[in-house]
Homo-oligomer: A and B are copies of this chain.
């Protein structure tokens, strides 16, 4: 199980997920951009716009290598001069406000001395929180995680709860999910192959779970209030990604490929000064839930 095999199977995973999402969407197809990185490696960025279900979606694969940069050194907490990193990243922005935004990332990192780790996560950001759907989402993550290590789900869920939070809004980004980083043989109790299989299993779970999230929502034309709320929640998504998301910030500040990093941006977003939804409205219920998320999650 060397880095070339891992990259190749992540690339297969990307294509598998795109195919599954195209089937689900039933209208639009992914376009592929292939790019190279001056310092070594490159990627395939696949994006879809204007679908039936998906208004804007990105599924990116990359496999890059080169000298460890000063910015990396700061984040690494480990000595090394040459790195290799490969992974798949996804963000789905659905057209309908009653469908959720969903995000996933799985990645592998190694240094020249064969030190390696895996990182990743899946999280769900509904514009309107549906507690039954949120529960189903978490159960699916738990079921898949439990087949690898029963400690994973509780640990990684808590990590996601802490991570996907906007302190400047005192709001959770959504209903959480799982998040993990620097997972290796020493701290995970699994060998390299098993950890990789876990990442692949999460990747395969992604389109299945998304299909369930959008399955029984009758696609009536959204109301003006729903669309307005979606645009405001998309504004929060932008705020999280540009102010707090470690991957985005690291990528941007270290000179990564901007278009591949910012494929996570929604197609559009709104900001209204000091906007508070009407008391008793569904929008207000979602906001209360996100503000209190840390208390009962």
Mark A residues whose CB is within 8 Å of B.
33, 45, 47, 49, 56, 58, 167-169, 231, 235, 238-239, 242-243, 249, 252, 255, 258-259, 261-263, 265-274
Contacts and interface: CB of A to CB of B under 8 A. Distances in A.
24 contacts: A33-B274, A45-B273, A47-B274, A56-B271, A56-B273, A58-B273, A168-B252, A168-B255, A235-B265, A238-B238, A238-B242, A238-B269, A239-B242, A242-B242, A243-B252, A259-B274, A262-B271, A263-B273, A265-B271, A267-B272, A268-B269, A268-B270, A268-B271, A269-B269
Contact of A258 (B33, B168, B231): B168
A168 B257 CA distance: 8
Give how many copies assemble into the complex.
Answer: 2
Contacts of A235: 265
Chain A interface secondary structure, helix, strand, loop or mixed? mixed
Residue with the greatest number of chain B CB neighbours at <10 A, chosen from A56, A255, A265: A265
A272 B231 contact: no
Closest 7 A/B residue pairs (Cβ): A242-B242, A265-B271, A47-B273, A168-B258, A268-B270, A168-B252, A259-B274
Contacts of A243: 242, 249, 252
A155 to B, nearest CB: 27
A266 B271 contact: yes
Nearest to A263: B273
Nearest to A273: B47
Nearest to A93: B271
B168 A273 contact: no
Nearest to A248: B243
Contacts of A274: 33, 47, 259
A248 to B, nearest CB: 9
A24 B85 CA distance: 54
